[in-house]
Chains A and B, each alone.
Chain A
Amino acid sequence: MAGGIVEKPASAEVVHPTVHYLNATKGFKNWLVTLDHKRIAIMYLCAVSVALLLGGFWAIVLRTELLHPHDDVVLSNAWYNRAFTLHGAVMVFLFIIPGIPASLGNFVLPMQLGAKDLALPRINLFSWYLYVMGLILFLGILFLGGLDTGWTLYPPYSVGGGSEHKAVWLNLIMAYTAVFILGFSSILTGLNFIATMHKLRPKDMGMYDMPLFLWALYATSLIQVLATPVVGLTLGLSLIEHMFNIGIFDPRYGGDPVLYQHFFWFYSHPAVYIMVLPAMGVQSELIATFSRKHVFGYKAIAWSSIAIAAIGFIVWGHHMFVSGQSPAAGIIFSLLTYFVAIPSAIKVFNWVATLYKGAIDFKAPMIYALAFMYLFGIGGLTGLFLASIANNVHLHDTYFVIAHFHMVMVGSVLTGFLGGVHYWWPKMTGRMYNETLGRVAAVMVFIGFNVTFMPQFVAGTRGMPRRYANYLDEFTTYHQVSTIGAYILGAAVVLQVGYLLHSLFKGRKAPPNPWGAASLEWQATSPPDFHNFLEKPVTMGAYDFENWEYVSEEAGYVLKREVIETGKSLAKAH
Chain B
Amino acid sequence: MMADLALGNFAGLPLAQQAGGSFWFPPQASDVAAGVDFTYDLILWLCIIFFVLICGATLYFMVKYRKRPGHKEEVTSTHNTKLELAWSIIPLILLMVVFGVSTYWYLRIVTPPSGEVVEVEVTAKQWNWTFTYRGDGLPAGKNYMVVGELHLVRDQAYQMVMTTPQNDVIHSMFIPAFRVKQDCVPGRYNKLWFRAIKAPQDDGAEYYDLYCTEYCGNDHSLMLAKVFVHENKAEWAAAVIEAADISRLDPVDRGKSIFDQNCKSCHTVNGDPSTGPSWKGMWGREEVMEDGTKVTVDENYVRESVLQPAAKIVKGYPNAMTPFTWGDQTDVAIEGIVAYMKTLKD
Name which of A176-184, A271-279, A328-336 contacts chain B: A328-336
* Chain B contacts to A: CB under 8 angstroms: 13-18, 21, 23-26, 32, 35-36, 39-40, 43-44, 46-47, 50-51, 54-55, 57-58, 61-62, 65-67, 71-76, 78-80, 83-84, 87-88, 91-92, 95-96, 98-99, 101-107, 109-110, 126, 166-170, 172, 174, 176, 179-183, 185-188, 190, 209, 211-222, 264-266, 268, 274
Which of A165, A292, A355 is B218 in contact with, Cβ under 8 Å? A165
Contact flag A361-B67 (CB < 8 Å), given A338-B99, A378-B51, A394-B181: yes
Q: Mark A219-260, 1 if CB is under 8 A from B, else 0.
A: 000000000000000000000000000000001101011100
> Which segment, of A23-31, A434-442, A443-451, A463-471, faces chain B?
A463-471
Tell me which residues from 354 to 383 in chain A have a Cβ below 8 Å from any Cβ of chain B: 355-362, 370, 373-374, 377-378, 381-382
Question: Quick one: given A256-B187, A385-B43, are A161 and B168 in contact (CB under 8 Å)?
Answer: yes
Q: Which one, A116-124, A191-199, A296-304, A523-531, is touching chain B?
A: A296-304
* Chain A minimum-CB-distance residue to B105: A390
16 residue pairs from A and B, CB less than 8 Å apart: A150-B215, A165-B217, A251-B186, A257-B185, A294-B78, A349-B87, A350-B84, A355-B58, A358-B65, A360-B62, A384-B47, A390-B39, A394-B176, A394-B179, A461-B25, A478-B15
A346 touches B88 (CB 8 A): yes
A323 near B183 (CB under 8 angstroms)?
Answer: yes
Once the chains bind, are B188 and A381 in contact (CB under 8 Å)?
A: no
State A359–B221 Cα separation when bound (angstroms): 52
Q: Judging by beta carbons under 8 Å apart, are A384 and B23 in contact? A: no
A358 & B215 in contact (Cβ 8 Å cutoff):
no
A371 to chain B, nearest CB (A): 11
Let me know if A381 and B51 touch, CB within 8 A. yes
Distance, CA A146 to CA B170, complexed state (A): 21
By secondary structure, the A interface counts as helix
How many Å lie between the Cα of A251 and that of B186 in the bound state?
Answer: 6
Interface residues on A, range: 35 or more
Known: A163-B126, A377-B55. A81 touches B61 (CB 8 A): no
CA gap between A517 and B285 in the complex, in Å: 81
**Contact assessment for A252 and B167 in the assembled complex, using a CB-CB cutoff below 8 Å:** yes
How many contacts between A and B, using CB within 8 angstroms?
Answer: 285
Q: How far is the CA of A162 from the CA of B264 in the complex (A)?
A: 10
Chain A residues contacting B187 (CB-CB under 8 Å) are 251, 254, 256-257
* Contact partners of B26 in chain A: CB under 8 A: 462-463
A146 CA / B87 CA spacing, docked (Å)? 48
- B209 → chain A, closest Cβ, in Å? 7
Selected from B14, B24, B166, the residue in CB contact (under 8 A) with A477 is B14
* A263 contacts B by Cβ under 8 Å: no
Q: What are the 3 closest A-B residue pairs judged by CB atoms, nearest first?
A: A463-B176, A251-B187, A468-B221
A566: Cβ under 8 A from any B Cβ: no
A162 to B219, CA, bound (A): 12
Q: In the assembled complex, which residues on chain B have CB atoms less than 8 Å from the CB atom of A466?
A: 213, 215
Which residues of the other chain, B, contact A469 by a CB distance below 8 angstroms?
Answer: 220-221
Query: A164 contacts B126, CB within 8 Å?
Result: yes
Contacts of B103 in A (CB 8 A): 331, 334, 389-390
**Smallest CB gap from A381: residue in B:** B47
Determine whether the beta carbon of B99 is less than 8 Å from that of A334: yes
Does A495 sit within 8 A of B, measured CB to CB? no
Taking A377-B54, A377-B55 as contacts, is the C-beta distance between A462 and B183 under 8 angstroms?
no
Are A296's CB and B79's CB within 8 A?
Answer: yes
Task: Report B-chain residues with C-beta under 8 Å of the C-beta of A389.
Answer: 102-103, 106
With A77-B221, A327-B106, A390-B36 known as contacts, the answer to whether A292 contacts B73 (CB < 8 A) is: yes
